[in-house]
Structure 1
């Protein structure tokens, strides 16, 4: 069975009939939780859960009540939520990693460009624009976790990253789109968007275009039209996060988080309700004291209560069940992904070999 690189101790299962007792159990039993998710195998039947007691013993220092919207400097006991960017989940074994995805994108672009040249078009893809914010699929999966960034940007990406992204998008938008002939060769007349890039060197020859155009030809050669992404896997990943939020241990720590947030003057039923607050959506807007104050209070409470670890541990268990329930389908997904990646690696290697052969002639 697939196990995460940083597995989490099995969280306490709190029966619905003991809901009123859940908070007391979590506070009293889990004070020894460390910042790193402990080994699930060493946890025994009792497991571990959110920490709600500070190092000095007694009730956790949740911060002084504040007027909502007033940023609060981290108190002496402030602890950021854990950074899950290097953690993994069982279902991620059936999805391309970031390096694999870049290889697949590069291979597709290499094949498309070669095909377009056969039809007389000097086509070049737009440069990929890394989106600002989370570094990977795990980074902000359970919420933001950088207090320094939250103090000035709230729930928004780093300002410099955002500005760089906006400049790159404007530069791409300013490039002239392909001609109608170029689009027909690129997509086979499927109308798959403007595909901005260099225009044609000469008018496209009048001859049959591959089904789906040069994009279709490239994707057929690689064996994927989605850079290795599987609808089954993406659906299971989305469902797992929601299902984990309904697990008893997660609901219990969410209640403690909600109580903690109230001490700072913020009223949210759980982190999902906060994430749905339209005032803090990741759309361009001025970041003010309301957002930064909410974000710092959120980080303070999630860090103290180990919300990230509890939520992650529950999602690992949900995903393990999903992998077992869809074992045959996921095995086929993994086999297909391996084949796609072999095809892409071969394309990239052939392209490099061709460039090495061609290089002396250029010199």
Structure 2
């Protein structure tokens, strides 16, 4: 089954997010990225045990700011400027927003089953980074961004040195816990209850991933009325049968079991994460 879910790609997603309504920055980026409805409390509170062993959005931004400081110093030595984006604020971690498919009425009403980077977090910082790169001349771009010896990749290598654990296992377990939860008796029960609810509303799908991937939605560039109505029914049925609560509780138990089974691995993973964050804080303390 092909599934619309955000699992094991959190770093890529979080590096795209930016400043939300909680940020106090005044500067408005010239680059404008697509908007999305603000996350619900349910989304903000959807945290799983394995999340704590991976970088959160705020931790990624801490590292990104340290990289900017190191890049600025490196660029200065070559006679160039580099903007440090260091007013990133604090942000909700939305890595699990689409883990169980579409779960927000406002998103269904506005976007149907569509997604964009903003859905996983605000994108003002991403826009500011795009603006920064667009202002660079060819020589500045090469000095800053050239693979291997550019100031920015070198800064990343410096902060990660000695703190690059094997993250394959946590990624596999993160995906596996969802698969296991869906196949559990409770997962099967709520999925079937969701399907019955959808059938009552005139929508026949075996599960919510199939609904999201209905080929009809790909026929238009924007969500059709039928797509939005189906998406709204999808969310309503998930709420009626308690699907998010049921699956997230199953996953919490599975992930806690997996952490106990691989205790030495997760201890090492957490230690490497802490060392990387400490290296970033040390850079920021010296600037």
Q: Give the 3-state SS of the residue equivalent to 1:83 in structure 2.
A: helix
1:278 Cα deviation after fit: 4.7
- Report the TM-score when normalising by structure 2: 0.70
- Report the TM-score when normalising by structure 1: 0.56
What's the counterpart of residue 86 of structure 1? 45
What's the counterpart of residue 201 of structure 1? none
Matched, 1:151 2:88: no
Choose the corresponding residue for 1:285, options 221, 234, 247: 221
What's the counterpart of residue 118 of structure 1? 77
Higher helix fraction (1 or 2): 2
Contact 1:82 1:309 in 2 (8 A): no
Choose the corresponding residue for 1:337, options 273, 281, 287: 273
Output the CA distance in 2 between the equivalents of 1:345 and 1:108: 11
What's the counterpart of residue 211 of structure 2? 274
Contact 1:104 1:227 in 2 (8 A): no
1:252 Cα deviation after fit: 1.8
Deviation larger for 292-301 or 81-90 = 81-90
What's the counterpart of residue 61 of structure 2? 102
Output the CA distance in 1 between the equivalents of 2:258 and 2:158: 31
Choose the corresponding residue for 1:299, options 235, 253, 271: 235
1:307 Cα deviation after fit: 0.6
After superposition, the C-alpha distances for 1:231-267 in whole angstroms (9 at most, x for unaligned) are 4333322232223222221012111111111111111
Contact 2:198 2:237 in 1 (8 A): yes
1:105 Cα deviation after fit: 0.9
What's the counterpart of residue 160 of structure 2? 223
Contact 2:133 2:141 in 1 (8 A): no
What's the counterpart of residue 17 of structure 2? none
What's the counterpart of residue 198 of structure 1? none
Output the CA distance in 1 between the equivalents of 2:152 and 2:106: 43
Change (3 A) 1:340 1:103: same
Output the CA distance in 2 between the equivalents of 1:169 and 1:112: 16
What's the counterpart of residue 258 of structure 1? 195
Change (3 A) 1:109 1:224: farther
Contact 1:95 1:228 in 2 (8 A): no
1:219 Cα deviation after fit: 2.3
1:330 Cα deviation after fit: 1.5
Output the CA distance in 2 between the equivalents of 1:220 and 1:174: 20
Give unpaired runs (5+ residues) of structure 1: 1-80, 191-210, 352-363
1:138 Cα deviation after fit: 2.4
After superposition, the C-alpha distances for 1:199-258 in whole angstroms (9 at most, x for unaligned) are xxxxxxxxxxxx633234312431269999944333322232223222221012111111
User: What value does the CA root-mean-square deviation take over the aligned residues?
Assistant: 3.9
Change (3 A) 1:261 1:151: same
Contact 1:91 1:233 in 2 (8 A): yes
1:27-46 maps to which residues of 2 (within 5 A)? Answer: none
1:123 Cα deviation after fit: 3.0
1:103 Cα deviation after fit: 0.6
What's the counterpart of residue 27 of structure 2? none
Q: How many residues of Structure 1 are paired with residues of Structure 2 in the alignment?
A: 242
Contact 2:102 2:234 in 1 (8 A): no
Q: Give the 3-state SS of the residue equivalent to 2:44 in structure 1.
A: coil
